Homo-oligomer: A and B are copies of this chain.
Amino acid sequence: MSIYGENIKLNIFGQSHSAAIGMCLEGVPAGFELDFAELQSFMDRRAPGKSPLSTARKESDVPEFLSGLKENVTCGVPITAIIRNTDVKASDYEEYKTLPRPGHADYTAKIKYNGFQDYSGGGAFSGRMTAPLCLGGGICKLLLEREGIKINSRVLSIGGLTDMKKAEELILKVKAQGDSVGGVIECTAENIPAGLGGPLFDGMESRISSAAFAIPGVKGIEFGAGAKCAEMLGSENNDDFTITDGNIVTLTNNCGGVLGGITNSMPLVFRLYIKPTPSIAKKQRSVDLSSMEEKSISVHGRHDPCIVPRALPCAEAVAALAVYDALLGRKKEIL
């Protein structure tokens, strides 16, 4: 389903070329004054068209709020906001209806929707759908800031390069070649209280990962030391407890702030592994679905050679959704 959360419910809707995309967020308590300027500056980090590193598609990504507010303050009922799709060129995509682009959802969507998929601009699979994700997550991020919880993210590497100047050169180079490149994002949530999450499917890793894989292009996630744990000894990986300023903390944070699915008050840390943008001008092989013949394909149009920088607010949105949802859940656990 397109709905996330247990205590909040985030409903995302729209397609790349439908009249609008948007979200409906339920569960935010009444009385929260929404800082539109701060929310917009969060949204703007995701918006395209601002640098030679990203797509030229121009989208203002300014939401219109339809419900849930009374004079800019939440009134306790679902918050709905939409973003109109304006800079739309449907003709760009007519070809992909029968000639699926490698690495895209063209083929799988056609099967799932029995040929009735909205293929324009990738439909509901467009990266553009991360705008309402950021909108819902951005509201949660503001709610968390009110509680003193800070969520941040950074690019760790692009195409394997951790030096960001070299990474930028790489992006421009692959762009010139009609190619693209992937990368890694690290996201942290600091000042989280201990006790959020739970065992089994209730764990923070389950909650975060199920939201994180909603970001198109994410192919892996790890928490704390993550994949490296698998090469470590227990004596290396376990985080010893100690006391600092009267608080129980751990000396290391290999667990990424989560033990048994529950936050331990150390920074919650996760990393997302993002694949290269599938839309590339380089010639690839595909199959014409009407003639069932092999055919070469070269994807033109306005695409990011690397979506990783623009995915930073998405990672933060996902973290904010999961943490805020767990934080609301925590309130029910006191007898």
How many of these chains are in the complex?
A: 4
How far, in angstroms, from A111 to B258 measured CA to CA in the complex?
13
Q: A117-B30, A229-B219, A280-B234 in contact; A287/B242 too (CB < 8 A)?
A: yes
Given A233-B174, A331-B332: A18 touches B68 (CB 8 Å cut-off): yes
Query: In the bound complex, how far is the Cα of B66 from the Cα of A174, in angstroms?
Result: 36
Q: In the complex, which residue of chain B has the Cβ closest to the Cβ of A226?
A: B220
**Complex Cα spacing A111 to B203, Å:** 15
User: Is A86 close to B, CB under 8 A?
Assistant: no
Interface contact B220-A11, CB-CB below 8 Å: no
Q: How many whole Å from A85's CB to the nearest CB in chain B?
A: 9
- A114 near B: Cβ within 8 Å? yes
Partner of A125, one of B32, B233, B260, B275: B260
A296 to chain B, nearest CB (A): 9
Would B14 and A2 count as touching, CB distance under 8 A?
A: no
Interface 0/1 of A272-286, CB less than 8 Å to B: 011111111010111
In this complex, how many residues of chain A approach chain B with their Cβ under 8 Å: the count is: 154
Cβ contact within 8 Å between A102 and B1: no
Q: Across the interface, do A229 and B182 meet the contact criterion of CB distance under 8 Å? A: yes
SS class of chain A's interface: helix, strand, loop or mixed? mixed
Partner of A66, one of B13, B202, B231, B279: B13
Query: B227, A259: Cβ atoms under 8 Å?
Result: no
Chain B, residue nearest A225 (CB): B219
A102: nearest chain-B partner, CB-CB: B238
Contact yes or no, A220 B219, CB < 8 A: no
Shortest CB–CB separation between residue A131 and chain B, in angstroms? 12
Name the segment of A42-50, A54-62, A192-200 touching the other chain. A192-200
* 5 residue pairs A–B, Cβ–Cβ below 8 Å: A66-B82, A70-B117, A105-B259, A107-B248, A179-B233
Residues of B within 8 A of A11 (CB): 3, 9, 11, 24, 26, 78
Q: Is the CB of A273 within 8 A of B20?
A: no
Task: Tell which of B31, B182, B200, B261 touches A231, judged by Cβ atoms closer than 8 Å.
Answer: B182
Q: What's the least CB distance linking A62 to chain B, in Å?
A: 14
Which one, B4, B280, B285, contacts A251 given CB within 8 A? B285
Q: Which residues of B contact A30 (CB under 8 A)?
A: 112-117, 333, 335
